[in-house]
Structure 1
Amino acid sequence: MPRPYPAEFRRDVVAVARKGDAPLSRIAKDFGISEATLHNWLKKADIEDGVRPGVTEQESAELRELRKRNRLLEQENEILRRAAAFFARELPPKMTYPLVLDLAADGIAVAVTCRVLGFSTQAFYKWCQDPVSQRDWDDAHLINAAFTIHADDPAFGYRFIADELPSRGITAGENRVQRLCSQQRIWSAFAKKRGLSRKSGPPVHDDLVAREFAADRPDKLWLTDITEHHTDEGKLYLCAIKDCFGGRIVGYSIDSRMTSELAVAALRNAIALRGPAGTIVHSDRGSQFRSRRFVELLSAKGLRGSMGRVGACGDNAAMESFFSLLQKNVLDRQRWASRDELRMAIVIWIERTYHRRRRQRGLGKLTPVEYETLNQAPLAA
């Protein structure tokens, strides 16, 4: 391919040709170029000087630059679109490198993709040479061992897991174990699950109780709340309703899901057994008790709703006390293999032990059933 003539040489030839001292054929021959080339140079010179219409070299360069920039913007938009779908899978950061390979196969430069995604090309090419580093390999083995240890005893947190790893031939620092357990959401059954807490919504009822958990007659004040416990099959949820007069559980519902139907079913059971009128039903600000179905059921049966403050356990302390007894006497007594097994244990403890065998000093050393039975006649009179 012939090399282009220098710009200065072209300008000189055009200047000589414009003087008109000799015909164009003679000038072309004198400078060693073809007559067609000279005509072409004269045409471009006239366009640059504005003598004839056309696209100048500057405009042509700007047009090429705009086309290049437009193509680059299209590539960047494609990278961001593909990356949004790719990152939605919540893969570890180093797993973004396969996306670079996919985009490169579609004609997008590696340098452009790395710049848009915010990492260096050196890191990408290093990953290409060694996709699975030794550190990642060791972390994978450590995570598998942590899952196995935690499955044997869900009460084990990262500290117990770190202490157990040497017996399985794995040496790792406690901070590293904590980081990996946090990434994989491996927590003790008794630990607070970070990042899973949700803010309570606005109350749909005022606080009509003000921490006064006493009642002078049955079905005057009910307390309700929801608790959960782990089994090998998954979580089991209990919504219970407690009568403050004698401490009896007047209604409850147990299910594998914590939905508004759980609270509504417990309230329906309590209404069917007791037939209350004008009863205050006090709860926290959980979404189940703020749901439209629960509020409509209260209104339809002539009950009055009441709600405590956010983050104030004392506003429902009497109900928390019952759940504490249930935790100590049933939930924490053993590891539960199935939901049905735990469900039967809860029901038996409530109906047999709590209602009819467990005497309470606040009731004059009577059981809740005995206390209600003895006070029915005086109340009727």
Structure 2
Amino acid sequence: MKKGRKLYDSAFKSKAVALSNERANISELARELGIKVTLLYKWRKEHEKFGEGSFPGNGTLKLTPEQEKIRLLEKQLKDAELERDILKKGNQHFFQERSMKYRFIKNHEHEFPIEKMCEVLEVHSSSYYKWKARPASKRALMKDKIKQQITSIYFASKQRYGSPRITAELNAMGYKISRVTVAKYMKELGLRSKLSKKFKVTTDSKHNYLIVDNVLNRNFAPTEPSQVWVSDITYIQTKEGFVYLTSLIDLYDRKMIGWSLSNTMSTADTTLAAWRMAIKNRPVKKGLIFHSDQGVQYATKKFTNVLESYGVIRSMSRKGNCWDNAVAESFFKSLKTELIYGNKLVTKEQMKIDVFEYIEIWYNKKRRHRALNYKTIEEFNNQNQFYKNVA
């Protein structure tokens, strides 16, 4: 039977295009999103031509020539600002240690004048030439190489990784190195993972809807996909007020199979929207347990009727006990630590793009999860599939 062509809605296309405007490598982004690079370029071309009027479905929205000219000028300005900030950002973050500065200069001698690089990175050119002429031991070269890899992994993770995850990443790359050594090198480089903060709970359990028992009872280790799905809601602050993120995670591999970022806390915009995405991504199996807190969005008849129509077993945390839904709570802690805290407030539209990138590219595809023994979700599923095939 011929496999049907996958369809993408306008929201996915718009966010993919917006994200591509922030990335230098379009091919890599297309691969991360699981789409053909030609398709992404097609969407970009349509967006360049019609702007907000692109991807209308059955509509025919278009921009006037004047609007199109303004849009192109804004894009050119953004590109110019991005180019201007590249070296500034590198000087601020990538080169804490003198040897790393020297290594950068050596690797870019054919791109930039040596004297200018020494001036920007605040090192004496004579010191650089002495370093370059001095023969390095194999041990020193290996240490320098590992430090470069640590720095690369650290900033590729947007400063989210600490020594355990960086160690796992290095081991996956073939390096044999301990977490203690990685922690030591990170300290020498001045690299620290982002620290977590406490945040408020958005649960509104003051309602008259039916509350069900805690069927899950903190059994967070199912043996198959679609045995247990957990969900929760949190707020995220932006320049224009709060937006509300609803998450829906399969406990088996910790994958975010459904989510919604909304301007309201209505059931339609939160739990129902996340559920609709989840059932598109994974089948609902018999005996599936759906666990949440006692919030009104999970207890309302509109949502419970949908769950019952699929034969789902409902489960709810005890009132005021966040540990009953620890995995969902942990996801929000990670997201806010790795994406929100320490960064400037952005618009709601920018936050939607940032959350889209965090979940669909980082969390679901690249992030190493402690609960999966520091494997990515894909590595975890591939390993378990291999063992099943062998058995």
TM superposition score normalised by structure 1: 0.47
Larger radius of gyration: 1
| Larger RCO of the pair (alpha carbons < 8 Å, separation 6+) | 2
TM-score when normalising by structure 2 = 0.46
